[in-house]
């Protein structure tokens, strides 16, 4: 008689989901702060980078400075605003210098995650993207670094007549490698950071590029250099020091700006607009096209290095139209004002589709997880969801700052579990929290980009007092998180 043996699934102390800037950071923290933990990083794409390999449109670059978008543990030595290729090189060095490669499995997409309290572990079904076969892995703890948007495709609204358009419609997130824009009339729909990056990269060789926006966006401009970093280098200060000093200065100035934007929005608005007026002169009606309805920083404020977008506009290679689309027509777009825009190519720089927990169906002890019904513990863990932490970075400061703060938190959490013999930690509202008002994951008056507004109903809620807040304030969290109590009863540890 033939006997079959069922091999036990491979087991890890920690599974990290995603090898973007968050997942690679998580691996570094595990390696350096939790050396006894057996861990693996699972990534569905064929390489690391997340955002920075998904997006391949011309000109792709960061819009925050790399002194803060870089990790605290690896000095950034280039210009503050970096291309995707430079960010990937930096991440590659982090992987190589810290022997992280052996811990990362590419082409592994997690398709379900279920928690069992009796077994005190997560079971993941994982599809191998190449072979298509499925494997099962188990873990004591899940460190979710899957980002916040769906990587496969971007968000494109449906407009009437799209099928009538004779040219190509492309989304920057899925930029076709064969797209030839030379000598073409291009309309870019949208005026966020992606449009601001793409347009100056396309403008010099296109017939013309038009940025079509429904409503204006704020832009800041500045040289793509950091004078303090250059001075410290001239003084031969070690790069580690330069990194730390420049980080602190950048953070200080960003914080000052964010606070000013709240305290005196009209003054900040005027400054931003007058800066642009100085760049484009009378080529553009600045009050019409660059004076947003919202206050500065209520949506991400795009930084335009060396003002390249505005140089393209001033040179007449690019222009701005503020109007709405009535319909697509064979030769371009008919606008609500009655005007038409001729186009060979239409780029929909219209944003993302929010992806909550990597689109992975979760269950807890057999019941589907209703994530939107949970309440967040410090924007990182969730009531009723054991042994799981999600990295959701900052909007107004670099995302990566939170990666490092949460790396320290995980290390503290694991030490606390070891010290108390706990195998499970789960946030639970305490008696004292009963009746607390619950608010959305991100408060609309604080930050309201389209992808969040469209997906807010899928996201956890926050309360009105610590530790149930997700306040998106790096300066505050930098002080509070390292000292945040793990023993105030909001986290329940069980053996």
Ligand X SMILES: Cc1cc2nc3c(=O)[nH]c(=O)nc-3n(C[C@H](O)[C@H](O)[C@H](O)COP(=O)(O)OP(=O)(O)OC[C@H]3O[C@@H](n4cnc5c(N)ncnc54)[C@H](O)[C@@H]3O)c2cc1C
User: 375 to each of 300, 385, 433, 437, 459, how far by Cα in Å?
Assistant: 25, 10, 11, 11, 9
Which of these segments, 58-66, 98-106, 375-383, 472-480, binds ligand X (CB under 6 A)?
58-66
| Beta carbon nearer to ligand X, 104 or 273 | 104
Q: Say if CB 140 and CB 387 are below 8 A apart.
A: yes
Q: Is residue 43 a contact point for ligand X (CB under 6 A)?
A: yes
Q: Name which position in 50, 70, 216, 407 contacts ligand X (CB under 6 A).
A: 50
Rounded to 10 deg, the angle between the 265-280 and 239-263 helix axes is 110
Q: Is residue 192 a contact point for ligand X (CB under 6 A)?
A: no
Instruction: Convert residues 395-434 into a mask of x (bound to ligand X by CB under 6 A) and - (unbound).
Output: ---xx-----------------------------------
Closest CA to 141 of 410, 409, 415: 410
Closest CA to 169 of 327, 334, 349, 348: 348
Q: Is residue 140 a contact point for ligand X (CB under 6 A)?
A: no
CA distance 482 to 33: 14
Q: Is residue 360 a contact point for ligand X (CB under 6 A)?
A: yes
Q: Is residue 69 a contact point for ligand X (CB under 6 A)?
A: yes
Which of these segments, 40-48, 98-106, 256-264, 278-286, binds ligand X (CB under 6 A)?
40-48
User: 364 to each of 293, 408, 413, how far by Cα in Å?
Assistant: 43, 26, 21
Smallest gap from residue 493 Cβ to ligand X (A): 27
User: How many other CB atoms sit within 10 Å of the CB of residue 326?
Assistant: 17
**CA neighbours closer than 13 Å in the CB half-sphere of residue 15:** 24
Q: Is residue 42 a contact point for ligand X (CB under 6 A)?
A: yes
Q: Name which position in 79, 145, 346, 347 contacts ligand X (CB under 6 A).
A: 145
Instruction: Convert residues 199-238 into a mask of x (bound to ligand X by CB under 6 A) and - (unbound).
Output: ----------------------------------------
What's the longest Cα–Cα distance across the chain?
Answer: 88
Which of these segments, 1-9, 57-65, 365-373, 457-465, binds ligand X (CB under 6 A)?
57-65
Q: Is residue 22 a contact point for ligand X (CB under 6 A)?
A: yes
Q: Is residue 51 a contact point for ligand X (CB under 6 A)?
A: yes
Q: Name which position in 114, 181, 191, 194 contacts ligand X (CB under 6 A).
A: 194
Q: Is residue 80 a contact point for ligand X (CB under 6 A)?
A: no
Closest CA to 357 of 481, 446, 455, 450: 455
Report how many residues bind ligand X under the rule CB under 6 A. 31
State which of positions 300-359 bind ligand X (CB under 6 A): 358
Which of these segments, 38-46, 365-373, 453-461, 464-472, binds ligand X (CB under 6 A)?
38-46
| Beta carbon nearer to ligand X, 165 or 362 | 362
Q: Residue 408 CA to chain centroid, in angstroms?
A: 20
Smallest gap from residue 282 Cβ to ligand X (A): 32
Residues contributing to the site for ligand X (CB under 6 A): 17-23, 42-45, 50-51, 55, 62-64, 69, 109-110, 145-147, 151, 194, 358, 360, 391, 393, 398-399
């Amino acid at each position: 008689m033939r006997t079959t043996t069922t091999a036990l699934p491979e087991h890890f102390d920690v599974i990290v989901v995603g090898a973007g800037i968050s997942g690679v950071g998580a691996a570094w923290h595990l390696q350096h702060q939790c050396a006894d933990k057996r861990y693996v990083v699972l990534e569905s794409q064929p390489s690391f980078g997340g955002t920075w390999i998904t997006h391949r449109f011309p000109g792709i670059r960061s819009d925050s400075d790399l002194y803060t978008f870089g990790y605290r543990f690896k000095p950034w030595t280039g210009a503050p605003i970096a291309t995707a290729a430079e960010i990937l090189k930096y991440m590659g060095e982090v992987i190589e210098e810290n022997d992280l490669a052996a811990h990362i499995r590419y082409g592994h997409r997690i398709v379900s995650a279920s928690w069992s309290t009796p077994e005190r572990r997560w079971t993941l079904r994982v599809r191998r993207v190449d072979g298509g076969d499925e494997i099962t892995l188990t873990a004591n703890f899940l460190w979710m670094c899957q980002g916040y948007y769906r990587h496969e495709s971007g968000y494109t609204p449906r407009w009437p007549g799209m099928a009538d358009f004779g040219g190509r419609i492309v989304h920057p997130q899925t930029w076709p490698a064969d797209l030839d824009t030379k000598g073409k009339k291009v309309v870019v729909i949208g005026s966020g950071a992606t449009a601001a990056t793409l347009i100056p990269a396309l403008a010099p060789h296109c017939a013309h590029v038009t940025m079509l926006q429904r409503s204006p966006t704020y832009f800041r401009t500045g040289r793509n250099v950091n004078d303090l970093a250059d001075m410290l280098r001239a003084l031969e200060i070690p790069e580690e020091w330069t990194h730390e000093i420049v980080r602190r200065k950048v953070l200080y100035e960003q914080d000052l700006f964010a606070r000013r934007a709240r305290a005196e929005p009209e003054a900040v608005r005027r400054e931003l607009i007058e800066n642009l007026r100085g760049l484009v002169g009378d080529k553009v009606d600045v009050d019409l096209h660059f004076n947003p309805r919202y206050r500065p920083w209520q949506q991400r404020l795009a930084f335009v290095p060396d003002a390249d977008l505005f140089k393209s506009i001033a040179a007449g290679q690019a222009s701005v139209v503020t109007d709405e689309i009535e319909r697509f027509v064979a030769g371009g777009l008919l606008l609500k004002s009655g005007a038409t825009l001729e186009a060979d190519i239409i780029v929909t720089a219209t944003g993302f589709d929010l992806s909550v927990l990597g689109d992975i169906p979760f269950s807890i002890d057999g019941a589907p997880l209703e994530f939107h019904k949970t309440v967040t513990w410090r924007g990182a863990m969730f009531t009723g969801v054991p042994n799981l932490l999600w990295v959701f970075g900052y909007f107004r400061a670099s995302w990566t700052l939170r990666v490092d703060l949460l790396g320290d938190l995980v290390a503290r959490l694991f030490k606390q579990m070891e010290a108390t013999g706990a195998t499970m930690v789960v946030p639970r509202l305490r008696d004292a929290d009963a009746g607390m008002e619950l608010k959305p994951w991100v408060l609309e008056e604080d930050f309201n980009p389209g992808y969040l507004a469209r997906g807010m109903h899928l996201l956890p809620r926050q309360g009105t007092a610590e530790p149930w807040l997700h306040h998106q304030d790096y300066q505050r969290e930098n002080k509070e998180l390292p000292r945040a109590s793990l023993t105030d009863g909001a986290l329940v540890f069980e053996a």
